[in-house]
Chain A
């Protein structure tokens, strides 16, 4: 997309292009970097109002217990104690937090009962954090313990129900059928059925949650600075809990957030508690920074934890006829917002394959574990893993090469755009070509003398018990989620059948630009950011669109009160939604500048004025006005033309292809970025250790607005994919005690585990988006784990080995090898 002025009013042949070259599509250096590199960036942990005081939380040590008595007197008697808040205090004056399913009630501090280790029970406030933690030690809580519910499969039949009032440990689930599933399974030559499991894995950003809340006694309102994700969407979780209208609770997120990956949408509990404490202290600012142990054991930030059963119907020639998946997702103690994480796989249910008959069946289960939040990929990685492992099994059963089986079933380029059985539509892409290309690249570079897969080397390593291999797989990354479908599980039974297309309400992306007196451009995003470089993206787009230099553009953020409700940084929306909004706003501003000049300066018709190179020109007279002159002209006017706002509608609102999915509230993701992967692995059959030697990945996310940032997202996503595949997991013991409460147990990939990544690219623009870009913030985490698992299968092919569990830790590899040896 060049920085052209596309207005039809320009006379034919009139060059209104900016003279400067375009910044979009280049790797413009990030505008965020300098402040970070010098240490000046202000993250939420750095906010320190003069008179701020500090909160700490007493948390449950039991997974499942009734609270018999809470004694805070010793803490209150301590000279450092400024405030104490208990669940009872909250019950008296505030509301429970909104849950992901209607019938649940969750308080910010436990009331009557605790349901997981790490659940906050009492909040205390002291002059500093050290003192606050001293107070926590003085809080004494008596419990009567109950049998913990730990195993998700058993929980479904367990007599112990962790929410008595709900009456079941399985509060949500649905079976959905698309096509003629039973017929397909009856008619197919073969049916296989297997079980796979996906461990409790999550984002674990390097920065933990933080909040500084201040109650305003004059206005009876709250200012809440915090690093919540989606602050304009999920602000209801804070204001509703406080029992105030939205305009009284202002959430503001600093321009720098130390990573989120979806997880920080669920930090509202901390926001509420700090706000309540500040209200108790007559408006003294209260600060809370979660420590790492709190974050890992009770920080409301675990994610998908699933047991799958997959059935695949296929013919002897390798054609897949039907897919039938069932899974149980261990949601922990409360169903939080991301209950729809269980539904997102519907948007990519058949991956890149052309399959017509699909059954999708799931159950959400409550256990005595920390609740789930969103994590990069939003439930898709586990589905793709289960599906592709079954495809590997099918190839083994047929005695075929898995890549041939995959090729035989891919959606062909002439089928694009391609509607999958669940109503979502893949926009564009040549999947067979991508898979072919990555295979050729690896064969040329590595299956040769000196290559990692040099047959002689592979053979020699084997003598040593080290098995090398590679698998070629292809994966869709659904991007740019719609918002309307996300409350499907809270929609009344029957309401879905009656829905019409006009009942669908999508949230737009909001954006503002204000011309400053010096001619510089001030822009405002309505979304928060956590390292994706949104300021850079917007700066690039505006520099092109307005014909100014990147240094003339300043990008700020709107708080939750000023901004309208909108979706924000979720589901890889931003490259598409933000660029659409930025372009729309810039176009409005260019138009307004011309109108302003017509009305206030040139006295000529609008059609006679063009916008060019950061100013407007009268074509008749040749007169010109620069941006700072326009700003000045505008400054006296009541209705300001140089301050514009724009709401960019979700792409599907104009696309009838999506009507069916939208109306039925099935997940709608109008862009299909994709990756063809080939990680080369070496499995040590003695130790069970897996080393990834090099990770080849061919990625296509349509038009790349900033290739540097896109590649950065791919590297980072793949690193999380490597972690998930091999080492990350929140395990619990049989008593419900969390086993990963420090970074010594929840292992993140370090320089020691990260392979070299060889990125290849193709660019298939999306026909559905303004710039041709596709959403691509989640890719490597979606397709990394399954690709690695498949390569492990390839390496151990002679053992007839298919991995059945993520993460594949050395212990599990050894165990699986033993099982396979014994012929299962």
Chain B
């Protein structure tokens, strides 16, 4: 993440066209880095994160709030970034899947558990599930099956049939309990 300021969606081409689309300035933290940008009010947070901040691990599966592939944490809460406008998160702190692994490149216990339990196939849903799991375990460190099912009910996976995802969440909960991993808002 670089800290230069971003111009919104009209960036690359705007010079060659006489566009006067309205923009607004937003300042937020993305995975711990401060980002200031000029954005169109209609720019979705998902597109802002992907296109402007380079966080392409944010996936877009439906753009209408059903699939959960675009789930990120906004001030610690799992949020569908396709249903959120970038201007709405002015001043907020956003965490994407890119913000999870340690600086040494070690996978976060949730990521590692998804790998160990074969909780991903095509992987398109995975960023969203990992982030939803993060919020769930922050809130509920030792969830039972029902709590897991409830906690992940806003995310769709078309490949795995969920069984291995449940196992991954349980494994992650156990690992986190053992490891005393820092919880909550980073």
Contact = CB atoms under 8 A, between A and B. Distances in A.
Given A127-B12, A207-B122, A752-B149, A37 B130 contact: yes
Interface string B158-171: 11111111100000
Interface stretch (B63-71, B84-92, B176-184): B63-71
Interface string A1-39: 000000000000000000000000001011011101111
A716 B159 contact: yes
A748 B13 contact: no
Contact of A33 (B10, B120, B124): B120
Contacts of A720: 158
Nearest to A258: B124
B114 A33 contact: yes
Interface in B37-77: 40, 42-43, 50-51, 55-64, 66-67, 69
A128 B107 contact: no
B141 interface: no
Contact of A43 (B19, B96, B124): B124
B153 A750 contact: yes
A323 B83 CA distance: 52
B173 interface: no
B32 to A, nearest CB: 15
B93 interface: no
Contact of A206 (B12, B57, B101, B157): B157
A292 B123 contact: no
Contacts of B55: 39
Interface in B85-138: 96-98, 100-101, 107, 111, 114-116, 118, 120-127, 130
A620 interface: no
Contact of B9 (A48, A130, A711, A751): A130
Contact of A39 (B56, B114, B115, B159): B56
Nearest to A712: B118
Contacts of A27: 118
A37 B153 contact: no
A205 interface: yes
Contact of B121 (A39, A291, A716, A750): A716
A259 B124 contact: yes
Nearest to B154: A750
Contact of B156 (A38, A718, A748): A748
B30 interface: no
Nearest to B152: A751
A258 B153 CA distance: 20
A770 to B, nearest CB: 25
B130 A46 contact: no
Nearest to A208: B61
A48 B51 contact: yes
A45 interface: yes
B124 A38 contact: no
Contacts of B69: 206
Contact of B161 (A33, A48, A719): A719
Given A256-B123, A743-B66, A751 B149 contact: yes
Using C-beta atoms within 8 Å of the partner chain, give the interface range for chain B: 35 or more
B4 interface: no
Contacts of A79: 17-19
Interface residues of A, number: 64
B115 A37 contact: yes
Contacts of B19: 79-80
A720 B126 CA distance: 18
B53 to A, nearest CB: 12
Contacts of B67: 206, 743
Given A33-B114, A39-B57, A742-B62, A748 B97 contact: no
Given A38-B101, A259-B124, A751-B153, A130 B111 contact: no
Prevailing SS type, chain A contact patch: loop
Contact of A716 (B14, B18, B51, B160): B160
B162 A45 contact: no
Contacts of B61: 206-208, 258, 292
A37 B98 contact: no
Contacts of B155: 750-751
Nearest to B110: A37
A130 B158 contact: no
A757 interface: yes
Contacts of A743: 62, 64, 66-67, 156
B64 to A, nearest CB: 5
A681 interface: no
Nearest to A27: B118
Nearest to B145: A756
A611 B17 CA distance: 65
A39 B156 contact: no
A756 B163 contact: yes
A204 interface: yes
Contacts of A207: 59, 61, 122, 124
A530 interface: yes
A206 B160 contact: no
A715 B160 contact: yes
A712 B158 contact: no
Contacts of A708: 118
A532 B122 CA distance: 7
Interface in B17-41: 17-19, 40
A256 to B, nearest CB: 6
B62 A718 contact: no
Nearest to A203: B158
The 9 closest A-B pairs by CB, nearest first: A39-B57, A531-B122, A258-B124, A127-B13, A715-B161, A36-B123, A719-B161, A743-B66, A531-B121
18 contacts: A29-B115, A30-B118, A36-B120, A37-B123, A39-B57, A39-B58, A39-B97, A39-B127, A40-B57, A41-B57, A50-B12, A127-B12, A531-B121, A711-B118, A712-B121, A716-B159, A751-B152, A752-B149
Interface of A: 27, 29-30, 32-34, 36-43, 45-46, 48, 50-51, 53, 79-80, 127-128, 130, 203-208, 256-259, 261, 291-293, 530-533, 708-709, 711-712, 715-720, 742-744, 748, 750-752, 754, 756-757, 780
Given A43-B59, A744-B66, 9 more contacts: A29-B116, A79-B17, A205-B122, A207-B59, A208-B61, A708-B118, A712-B164, A742-B62, A780-B161
